[in-house]
Amino acid sequence: MKWKSTVLALALLLATGCKDPYGVAAKLAQDVAISVNQADVTIDALRVQGTITADEERQILGYLSTLNTLDGQYIACVQVAHNSTIAGGFTKCAQVLAADMGDPSTLAALHVSNQASQAKVAAVANGIVTLVTVTITALGGK
Amino acid sequence: MDPITTINAAILALDAILNIINQIRGQSGLTDDQILAAAASQATTNTDQIKKLLAGLPPKSV
Residue B44 in this model has a pLDDT that exceeds 60: yes
Domains, chain A, ordered by start: 2-6+21-139 (1.20.120)
pLDDT digits (tens, 9 = 90+) for A87-106: 899 999 999 999 998 877 77
> What percentage of chain A reaches a pLDDT higher than 70?
87
Chain A contact present for B55, CB below 8 A: no
Q: Which residues of A touch B54 (CB under 8 A)?
A: 58, 61
**Nearest CA-CA distance, residue B30 and chain A, Å:** 10
The whole-number pLDDT of residue B32 equals: 92
Is A61 in Cβ contact with B54 (below 8 Å)? Answer: yes
Interface contact A30-B36, CB threshold 8 A: yes
A54 contacts B26? CB cut-off 8 A: no
Distance from CA of B10 to the nearest CA of A (A): 19
pLDDT (0 to 100) of residue A37: 94
Helices (H) and strands (E) in chain A, counts: 6, 0
Least confident stretch, A6-20, B6-20, B30-44: A6-20
User: What gap in Å lies between CA A36 and CA A33, rounded to an integer?
Assistant: 5
Query: Nearest CB to A54: which of B36, B46, B58?
Result: B58
- Residue B46 vs residue B2, higher pLDDT: B46
Chain A residue whose CA is closest to B20? A9
Confidence at residue A82, expressed as pLDDT on a 0 to 100 scale: 95
The larger pLDDT score, comparing residue A11 to residue A138, is at A138
Q: Does A39 touch chain B (CB under 8 A)?
A: no
Residue ranges of alpha helices (H) inside B2-31 are 3-24
List all residues of chain A from 72 to 101 with a beta carbon under 8 Å from chain B.
72, 75, 78-79, 82
ipTM over 0.95? The verdict is no
Is it the case that residue A11 has pLDDT exceeding 60?
A: no
CB A33 within 8 A of CB A71: yes
Q: B29 pLDDT exceeds 60?
A: yes
Flag whether residue A20 sits within 8 Å of chain B, measured between CB atoms.
Answer: yes
Q: What is the mean pLDDT of residues A25-31?
A: 94
- Distance (Å) of CA B62 to CA A46, A57, A113, A136, B51: 21, 16, 17, 43, 22
- The pLDDT assigned to A75 comes to 98
